[in-house]
Amino acid sequence: MSGPGAPGRAKVALLLLRDEGVDWSDARAKEMFDRFVAWTADLSARGALHGVEGLTREGKTVRKRGAALVLDGPYAEGREAVLGYVAVLVDDLDEACRIASESPYVAFGGAIEVRMTSPFPKPARST
């Protein structure tokens, strides 16, 4: 496998979805978290980890309805929301799905949405 900066590698976002229907008792959550930290360390050692961040429950959804600005929050809809993300460098979507399937979060009943990223133009810096 080529290195993380090698041509042809793609950055993929693994979105960890929060589902209030999954049992996250304190002991179960701590065990999953400890295994998750070990899993991300392994991804880093394999050269696949690009970044990992958790998201807090604080936040708002901002949208415009007609002339009014509406603040909901913190989630747009539903019981599921993004808990955090892991960004990985992979050769293709299949590799990203294999990596997601290795996650302790999935083993504990959580769900991960695998999404390819696309380059976004960087703003020019003013001097």
pLDDT beyond 80 at 17: yes
pLDDT beyond 70 at 80: no
Which residues lie closer than 8 Å to 22 by C-beta, 6 or more apart?
108, 109, 110
Higher-pLDDT residue of 69 and 113 is 113
The structure's pTM equals: 0.77
pLDDT of residue 58: 81
pLDDT of residue 81: 79
Mean pLDDT score of the chain? 84
pLDDT beyond 80 at 42: yes
pLDDT beyond 90 at 45: yes
pLDDT of residue 21: 73
pLDDT of residue 2: 38
Domain 10-116 has CATH 3.30.70.1060: yes
